[in-house]
Amino acid sequence: MSQPDPSRPAVHHLVPTPAGRTHVVEQGSGPLVLLVHGFPEFWYSWRHQLPALAAAGFRAAAIDVRGYGRSSKPAGIEAYRMLDLVADSAAVVAALGERTAVIVGHDWGANIAANAALLRPDVFTALGMLSVPYAPRGGPRPTEAFARIGGDEEFYVRYFQEPGRAEAEIEPDVRAWLAGFYAGLSADTMSPPDAPSLYFVPPGGRLSDRFPQGRAPGWLTEADLETYAGEFERTGLTGALNRYRAIDRDWADLAAWDGDPIRQPSLFIGGAVDASTAWMADAIAAFPDTLPGLVSSHLLDDCGHWVQQERAADVNRLLLDWLRALPLPAPGCPAPGWLGPAA
């Protein structure tokens, strides 16, 4: 393994993928670790992990998922199916000159990473998930399931389904909306447990009606907020929201993998006060069956949804402990070329 140079700055470049192009930010040399962000973020959510992984002897590469940042933004909901996002991830690995990679994702990125490991085990040799645990495909059509919860109120995923509806709420003041959303899901600024849930929209209301006001989470500096807001003011939110709008298509596309486990070495890190880990407690409990290669699972006390930003040092330590124990191949092998998703 070549010696890493932690002082070397991150490099930005574009690589060809089925999306058209994917923006990659990479730092370091060594075994490739592909980092996949969630909603509403972009590569920048991994800013604390890139230098830490590089200093530890890994080649860390954080992407902008299609629809975000400097990556391509195909038109139409069909372009945001999980199969396409998995194909993009595999193509990035090949474009970076590697045959295999470890894949680590947060939020929607955790879903993308899990499905990449499931569908392309030839490429993705290990899986890390942050905030959102793996739950195999199954059950009723997702939008039908979401329509049944909340009573008179509307679950946020259902609220996001209609094209243009959430955009009309968010885009007039992207900065304020993002600030409220980030605060609402952060441990130090989220509303108390007995307050109305911000994940549900009352009749005639908006998602932001229940955001905490005037409180910034400790992990989010003014410069960080300006970076996030500036990017989404430039790109809009439609590409990001189209991921939610493709969930029924995923349910149909992934029928052949219904209930399938992921067998590669895996890691899960969640926040103990994150609604995602509470809602998906059954999925975490099922890890012995759904993730037979699980190495470790961690719930961080006093941590919300944005784990790698709220608790950067802890996440870096857990990631590195896990990565160092993996049997990783030597980097630099020529890639055979992207062959598309397994089917």
Write out the catalytic residue numbers: 107, 305
CA max distance for the chain:
59
| Cβ partners under 8 Å of residue 170, min gap 6 | 177, 208, 237
Burial of 135 (C-beta count, 10 Å sphere; 0-12/13-18/19+): middle
Neighbouring CB atoms inside 10 A of 176's CB total: 15
**200-201 vs 154-155, strand pairing mode:** antiparallel
Give me the amino acid identity at 37.
H
Task: Write the CA distances from 279 to 52, 94, 133, 336, integer angstroms.
Answer: 31, 36, 10, 40
- The helix-helix angle for 222-235 and 174-184 (nearest 10°) equals 120
Helices (H), 120-221: 142-147, 156-159, 165-170, 174-184
Cα–Cα distance for residue pair 189/330, rounded to 1 Å: 43
Cα–Cα distance for residue pair 139/250, rounded to 1 Å: 13
Q: What H or E segment, with its residue span, contains residue 261?
A: none
- Per the CB < 8 A criterion, the answer to whether 38 and 131 are in contact is yes
Give me the amino acid identity at 326.
L
